Amino acid sequence: MADKTGIEWTEQTWNPTTGCDRISPGCDNCYALTMAKRLKGMGSTKYQTDGNPKTSGPGFGFATHASAITEPLRWKKPRKVFVNSMSDLFHAGNPDANLHLIFGVMAATPQHTYQVLSKRHGRMRSLLNDPQFSHMVRHRAEGYGRPPVAGWTWPLPNVWLGVSVENQKWADIRIKALAQTPAAVRFLSCEPLIGPVRLNRGHAYCPTHDFPGGFCSGPCPDLILPDWIIIGGESGPGARPFEPLWAADLIDDARLAGSAPFVKQLGSAWARENNASDTKGGKPADWPEHLRVREYPDTP
């Protein structure tokens, strides 16, 4: 069953797979890993697969859930859906055939908006650029009841694709890959932000020209910019420091790029230092006024 969520930028979560493995510094204090351990102890059937202790943990081994894949087909009310809040859809353990089914469900339910966030930018870029992948997605969608001529387009107009960005190193790698990935809406989750990130003020990512850092300046017909930038600090007892200046700089960069900035929270370390009313620093009333920004992208 899909779950209602307290995540401010979505309405519901859908987890056709669960579990993951840490692959970069943003994963170090993974909230989902901690939650999976607790859910395993509570007997939740989805969280009985243990992962590698070096990269994962109890209840957080990658697992697919066939019964969960078709859940959105039964939802009548349109909604924003965060896909795999407890996993990474493009994890190496998720077979291509399973991804065909999941994307097929998304294609067969155009009334919903799906938000897919990944740290596996390379596999996401490779698969979504593969004509065979989109062919199989269409085939699966038709199997779920979508008429063959129901205005099929690729990329799917109701699927937003995003990458996680925790510092400048991963920004330079993942945003360039995202720009090379076909998507109706592209977004960044700069959360947990553990260092400053700049989008190279006034410049944009260009997937076809090889400029230092993946940026292309000046007039260019191939410029691709993120449509949406989510900004947040790290939450939890071991949260790493967060500087409000990092959020302010990203808001400025988003404005110059024509992207919509969304400040989700300022993190637990900031909340403790400033005696905030919310332990995650998630209440805008506690923030400096210039950071109280929560916008959504224009959609197709």
Nearest CA to 128 out of 150, 151, 106 is that of: 106
| pLDDT mean over 157-168 | 96
What are φ and ψ of residue 21, in 5° steps?
-140, 140
Band of residue 176 on the pLDDT scale cut at 50, 70, 90: confident
Name the β-bridge partners of 17: 64
Q: 214 is written with which tokens?
A: 């993946």
Quick one: pLDDT at residue 146?
82
The percent of the chain in helix, strand and coil, each rounded to the nearest 5, is: 35, 15, 50
Quick one: pLDDT at residue 222?
60
Band of residue 208 on the pLDDT scale cut at 50, 70, 90: low
Q: Residue ranges of the domains in the chain?
A: 1-164, 187-300
Instruction: Return d(Cα 172, Cα 159) in angstroms, integer.
Output: 23
What are φ and ψ of residue 215, in 5° steps?
-100, 150
Nearest CA to 192 out of 247, 138, 131, 272 is that of: 247
Label residue 70 exposed, middle or buried (CB < 10 Å: 0-12, 13-18, 19+). Answer: middle
Band of residue 151 on the pLDDT scale cut at 50, 70, 90: confident
| pLDDT tens per residue across span 135-150 | 999 999 999 988 776 6
Label residue 260 exposed, middle or buried (CB < 10 Å: 0-12, 13-18, 19+). Answer: buried
What is the 8-class DSSP label of residue 73? G
Quick one: pLDDT at residue 219?
57
Residue 266 has pLDDT above 50, yes or no: yes
Instruction: Compute the C-alpha angle 149/151/155, nearest 5°.
Output: 120
Helix (H, G, I), strand (E, B) or coil at 83: strand
Alpha helices in the chain (DSSP H): 31-41, 66-69, 96-108, 121-128, 131-143, 168-179, 244-257, 268-273
Give the pTM. 0.93
Band of residue 172 on the pLDDT scale cut at 50, 70, 90: confident
Quick one: pLDDT at residue 202?
44
Quick one: pLDDT at residue 152?
86
Instruction: Return d(Cα 234, Cα 116) in angstroms, integer.
Output: 20
Average pLDDT, rounded, for the chain: 91
| pLDDT tens per residue across span 213-264 | 455 555 565 667 899 999 999 999 899 999 999 999 999 989 988 899 999 9
